[in-house]
């Protein structure tokens, strides 16, 4: 499957030669298992926090409230401590992603992934063996550090090793693993909820499996040529590039990376550079993609699906089963994204999804508004309609904002600000995931069905953002974005126009030595 990636730049069109080798695909599959850890965690907390044994042990007040028949439907799980259990992980991930950006730059993407799996494993042990709330929360924090490291290193790794024409697809393997992780977690919860009284320990303990897979797998994979070259290992970088591209003729691509890395060397403080005017387009887009991704309301559904389905009247088993159905839709539709993203492009997927998500969120809002009162449960037929609408919502998220939230920030920054810029993406994702995790159950308690209209309003905003401010990055080589994307965009070009020549160092913080 030989092929060329065409690349235009100031000195005319360039062609990067390369095959889609077995090795590159293998490395992609292994690295993507970092997404399994993240996904498993997203999926497991909702189920665990609706298990009676778990609630009785750590959150006795919620347990009592849950079983009081008179309790308001929308409020029975509203408890800051319970929400902190879910959300503490994301705060830790937020902070650690900045540290991870440094290890990514200085020690490489591969080592950062290994560190991720180790932090995560220690967290798993503490969680599964938890005797009190403190142990539980400290475990969650370590899991969070692991996720911060993995989510920083994996998408960058995937975008850097990928041949340009399958970059989207390869990168989305990360998100595919996230969705598989969520699904496995839902299935695990379905079974462990019947193992009394320690099923929740099994649920939390099995999170160790993806971490072990990532650790062992990372021993087999390569470092990215970009990271080797960035760290002055030029020969190794060249050899690795030949290996992953399956050809000796990698000179053009190699030179391009060396060129990018020379500029990167001159940047003494990447974090400061990322704040400069010339990085504004990528930075704003990286952050907004995360804000919007989270304000679709996806995690309100992912974390709390079993709780949500219980709220509308399914019993414990029924609610987990509905979560499993929803999880399967999520996985399948991520595959759709892998197939389409490099053909149709990023923008069209995002826009189509906005329409579908808007309709489904608004419809869920209307149904709950009409039929869901404070203390009743929904009639079975109506509840099934809600599940169908949730699946419609999840499917469109899965082929758009889910994967592209990670893909776009990983492919738009130039090398000199890539790890720092991506750290802003990861940390914003974690920050807004935290906000949703912490606030959703309370918001639902106060806003009732209105919460779904709240998310629908955000969807309108994000569609406008895509139409006016998000350029298409399909098929543009990663180190050619400046010339071919930013300098041509009607709005963003004013920020980068003055970066005439990337060799010129006037706009970068130059090392003094």
Tell me the window of 74-82, 260-268, 296-304, 454-462 that interacts with ligand BGC (CB under 6 A): 296-304
Instruction: With contacts defined by CB under 6 A, name the span among 97-105, 113-121, 260-268, 294-302 that binds ligand BGC.
Output: 294-302
One of 278, 433, 438, 473 touching ligand BGC (CB under 6 A): 433
- Taking the C-alpha atoms of residue 387 and residue 184, their distance in angstroms, rounded to an integer, is 19
Tell me, residue by residue from 304 to 343, as one string, x for binding to ligand BGC by CB under 6 A and - for no binding: --------------------------x-------------
Q: Minimal CA–CA distance to 509: which of 278, 297, 290?
A: 278
Which one among 24, 121, 264, 298 touches ligand BGC, defined by CB under 6 A? 298
**CB neighbour burial string for 212-228, b if at least 16 within 10 angstroms, e if fewer:** ebbbebbeebbbbbbbb
Compute the least distance from the CB of residue 181 to ligand BGC, in Å.
Answer: 9
Is residue 144 close enough to count as binding ligand BGC by CB under 6 A?
no
User: 């069209």: which residue's tokens?
Assistant: 348
Q: Please, which residue, 182 or 241, has the CB nearer to ligand BGC?
A: 182
Which CB contacts under 8 angstroms, 24+ apart, belong to 503-506? 503/263, 505/263, 505/266
Among all residues, whose Cβ is closest to ligand BGC? Answer: 402
CB 327, min distance to ligand BGC, A? 9
**Shortest CA distance to 408 belongs to which of 292, 505, 245, 301?**
292
Question: Measured between alpha carbons, how far is 508 from 487 in angstroms, rounded to an integer?
Answer: 17
Residue with tokens 């406008």: 464
Contact with ligand BGC (CB under 6 A) among 42, 188, 321, 478: 42
Binding residues for ligand BGC restricted to 175-194, rule: CB under 6 A: 175, 178-179, 182
Question: Concatenated DSSP letters for 248-285?
Answer: S--HHHHHHHHHHHHHHHHBS-HHHHHTSGGGHHHHHH
Tell the smallest beta-carbon distance from residue 43 to ligand BGC (Å).
Answer: 8
Decide: is 415 part of the binding site for ligand BGC (CB under 6 A).
Answer: no
Count of residues touching ligand BGC (by CB under 6 A): 14
How many whole angstroms separate alpha carbon 128 and alpha carbon 124? 6
Q: How far is the CB of 143 from ligand BGC (least distance, A)?
A: 15
Which region, judged by CB under 6 A, interacts with ligand BGC, from 6-14, 174-182, 340-348, 420-428? 174-182
Which distant-in-sequence residues (6+ apart) come within 8 Å of 113 by Cβ?
31, 34, 149, 150, 153, 154, 157, 214, 218
State which of residues 31, 48, 188, 302 lies at the interface with ligand BGC (CB under 6 A).
Answer: 302
Please, are residues 352 and 344 in contact by the beta-carbon 8 Å criterion? no
Q: What is the dihedral angle through the alpha carbons of 136, 142, 143, 144, rounded to the nearest 10 degrees?
A: 110
Region from 165-173, 194-202, 295-303, 316-324 binding ligand BGC, contact rule CB under 6 A: 295-303
Contact flag: residue 429 with ligand BGC (CB under 6 A): yes
Helix (H) or strand (E) holding 482: helix 481-484
Enumerate binding residues for ligand BGC (CB under 6 A): 42, 175, 178-179, 182, 293, 298-299, 302, 330, 402, 405, 429, 433
């Amino acid at each position: 499957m030989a092929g060329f990636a065409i690349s235009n730049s100031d000195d005319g069109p360039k062609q990067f030669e390369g095959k889609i080798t077995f090795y590159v695909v293998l490395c992609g599959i292994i690295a993507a298992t970092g997404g399994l850890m993240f996904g498993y965690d997203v999926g497991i907390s909702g189920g665990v926090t609706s298990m009676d044994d778990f609630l009785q042990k750590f959150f006795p007040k919620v347990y009592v409230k849950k079983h009081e028949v008179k309790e308001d439907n929308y409020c029975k799980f509203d408890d800051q401590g319970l929400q902190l259990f879910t959300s503490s992980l994301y705060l830790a991930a937020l902070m650690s992603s900045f540290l991870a950006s440094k290890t990514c730059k200085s020690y490489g993407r591969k080592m950062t992934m290994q560190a991720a799996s180790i932090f995560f494993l220690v967290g798993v042990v503490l969680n599964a063996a938890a005797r009190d709330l403190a142990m539980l929360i400290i475990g969650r924090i370590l899991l969070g550090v692991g996720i911060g490291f993995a989510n920083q290193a994996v998408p960058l790794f995937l975008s850097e090793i990928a041949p340009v024409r399958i970059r989207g697809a390869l990168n989305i393997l990360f998100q595919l693993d996230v969705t598989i992780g969520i699904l496995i977690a839902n299935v695990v919860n379905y079974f462990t909820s019947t193992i009394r009284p320690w099923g929740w320990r099994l649920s939390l303990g099995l999170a160790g499996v993806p971490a072990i897979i990532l650790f062992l797998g990372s021993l087999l994979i390569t470092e990215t040529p970009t990271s080797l070259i960035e760290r002055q290992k030029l020969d190794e970088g060249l050899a690795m590039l030949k290996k992953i591209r399956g050809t000796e003729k990698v000179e053009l691509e190699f030179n391009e990376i060396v060129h990018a890395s020379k500029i990167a060397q001159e940047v003494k403080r990447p974090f400061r550079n990322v704040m400069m005017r010339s990085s504004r387009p990528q930075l704003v887009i990286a952050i907004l993609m995360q804000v919007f991704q989270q304000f679709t309301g996806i995690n309100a559904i992912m974390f709390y699906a079993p709780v949500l389905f219980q709220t509308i009247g399914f019993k414990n088993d029924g609610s987990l089963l509905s979560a499993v159905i929803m999880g399967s839709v999520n996985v399948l539709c991520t595959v759709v994204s892998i197939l389409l993203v490099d053909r149709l492009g990023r923008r069209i997927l995002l826009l189509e999804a906005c329409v579908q998500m808007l309709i489904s969120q608004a419809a869920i809002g209307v149904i709950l508004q009409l039929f869901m009162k404070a203390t009743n449960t929904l009639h079975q037929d109506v509840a099934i309609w809600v599940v169908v609408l949730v699946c419609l919502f999840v499917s469109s998220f899965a082929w758009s904002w889910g994967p592209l939230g990670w893909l776009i920030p990983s492919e738009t920054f130039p090398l000199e600000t890539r790890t720092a810029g991506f750290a802003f993406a990861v940390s914003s994702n974690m920050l807004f995931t935290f906000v949703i995790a912490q606030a959703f159950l309370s918001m639902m308690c106060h806003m009732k069905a209105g919460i779904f209209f709240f998310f629908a309003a955000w969807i309108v905003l994000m569609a406008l953002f895509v139409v006016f401010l998000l350029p298409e990055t399909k098929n543009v080589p990663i180190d050619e974005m400046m010339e071919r994307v930013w300098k041509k965009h009607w709005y963003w070009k004013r920020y980068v126009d003055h970066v005439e020549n990337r060799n010129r160092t006037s706009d970068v913080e130059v090392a003094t030595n």
